[in-house]
A = this chain, B = another copy of it.
């Protein structure tokens, strides 16, 4: 099930990730956003390696019970592993994609090379 991750306060959409029953339960228990990594097939505590945890402020559920919104406080100021505040740092302009955000951190420094 997709989880839209939105910054509490600003309303900015930071990322979209996926949850399963386990990730949902761990999120509710700990107050820290957990996801299910579809590529690694494992539980993923967001910020485990970077320290950029997402603290849950509110959770919304949609009309079909098949999508949730995690409203979070994003520690470290950036949600994207590429160093941007939001994973949605590019916008469509005509037929092209343009950068519409500046990076917040250098991924090499946070994750190592």
State the A residues within 8 Å of B (CB): 2, 4, 6, 10-13, 15-16, 28, 58-64, 67, 69, 80-82, 84, 87-92, 97, 100
Q: In the bound complex, do residue B13 and residue A92 qualify as a contact, i.e. CB atoms below 8 Å apart?
A: no
Q: A4 touches which one: B4, B64, B97, B100 (CB < 8 A)?
A: B4
Instruction: Give the 4 A-B residue pairs with the shortest CB-CB distance, closest first.
Output: A11-B11, A60-B88, A59-B92, A62-B87
Cα A58 to Cα B97 in complex, Å, equals 12
Known: A6-B13, A10-B11, A16-B4. A63 touches B91 (CB 8 A): no
Shortest A100–chain B CB gap in Å is: 7
Give A64 to B4 CA distance when docked, in angstroms. 15
